[in-house]
Amino acid sequence: MKVLVPVKRVIDYNVKVRVKADQTGVDLANVKMSMNPFDEISVEEAVRLKEKGKASEVVAISIGPAQASETIRTALAMGADRGILVKTDAEVEPLAVAKILKAICEAEQPGLVILGKQAIDDDSNQTGQMLAALLGWPQATFAHKLELGDGKADVEREIDGGLQTVEIKTPAIVTTDLRLNEPRYASLPNIMKAKKKPIDEKAPADYGVDVAPRLKTLKVTEPPKRQAGIKVKTAAELVDKLKEAGALP
């Protein structure tokens, strides 16, 4: 069974983002970029399935600028077999991403597509679900544990208030939550090996998908800032101040 893993190039999660003065977005100039952390978890899960003999091939896909090939290389160094770069300098919204991935799924016929539950830049949390709907496939979002069976998968999901287990028929879509696994670091020999793995280069037009944004971003601003308050000396004083502020019932 083939597993597809879409990976997104985003601002590294350790970087403090700065909103541009002209309010057109956040400053991406000279900022460290990395693979979306949830996507690292997807790659790790797919590679583990291959190591367990449950997946035959792991294909990493990225939709983005030329540099997104570095993100694919990271996935290849972690153990993915080959890559597909759908090159575009446009900012591609989740719906368009899902349409491109649908076309790739139709060509590649995977048994499973594992995606991060959300990208840490636009925080949309949509692509996996949209892809599932477009394909008419079942989905298990926010996966905490994945057991692949014969023609099905049992997935434990993180939901408000606890965990839920669903059984889905394959082919299916799984989106990853933080606790699914701990992604490995690629070893130097594997990084070297990854340089020889093939990456196919495509464009959105090859899949007949129009990536023009459907939402218009009017502005991007800083969130309201909180002011530091006062320091109190004792726990009793803290309780008194909270009482005065009307914060206690």
Partner 1 sequence: MTSLVIAEHDNKNLKDATAKTVAAAAQVSSPVHVLVAGSDCASVAEAASKLSGVEKVLLADDPAYAKMIAEPMEKLILSVAGNYDAILAPATTNGKNYMPRVAAKLDVPQISEILKVVSADTFERPIYAGNAIATVQAGAGKKIITVRTTAFKAGEANGSASIEKASAAGDPGISKFVGEELSKSERPELTSAKIVISGGRGMQSGDNFHLLDKIADKLHAAVGASRAAVDAGFVPNDYQVGQTGKVVAPELYIAVGISGAIQHLAGMKDSKVIAAINKDEEAPIFQVADFGLVADLFKAIPEMEAELTKLGY
User: Kindly report the CA angle at 181 between 116 and 141, in degrees rounded to 5?
Assistant: 35
Distance from first CA to last CA of the chain, Å, rounded? 57
Residue 144 Cβ vs partner 1, minimum distance, rounded to whole Å? 8
Cα distances (Å, whole numbers) of residue 72 to 21, 108, 202, 238, 248:
32, 17, 14, 51, 52
Residue 2 Cβ vs partner 1, minimum distance, rounded to whole Å? 19
Between 66 and 213, CB nearer to partner 1: 213
Residue 84 Cβ vs partner 1, minimum distance, rounded to whole Å? 21
Judge contact between 140 and 45, C-beta under 8 A.
no
Strands 139-148 and 152-159: what pairing? antiparallel
Residue 76 Cβ vs partner 1, minimum distance, rounded to whole Å? 26
Between 132 and 146, CB nearer to partner 1: 132
Between 188 and 218, CB nearer to partner 1: 218
Nearest to 173 by CA among 42, 7, 35: 42
Adjacent-strand bridge partners of 116: 176
Between 66 and 169, CB nearer to partner 1: 169
Nearest to 113 by CA among 124, 97, 93: 97
What CA–CA distance (Å, rounded) separates 8 from 61?
Answer: 8
Residue 78 sits at φ, ψ, to 5 deg, of: -75, -15
Residue 196 Cβ vs partner 1, minimum distance, rounded to whole Å? 35
Judge contact between 61 and 83, C-beta under 8 A.
yes
Between 66 and 133, CB nearer to partner 1: 133
Between 66 and 214, CB nearer to partner 1: 214
Residue 138 Cβ vs partner 1, minimum distance, rounded to whole Å? 4
What CA–CA distance (Å, rounded) separates 174 from 157?
Answer: 10
Residue 25 Cβ vs partner 1, minimum distance, rounded to whole Å? 8
Between 88 and 118, CB nearer to partner 1: 118
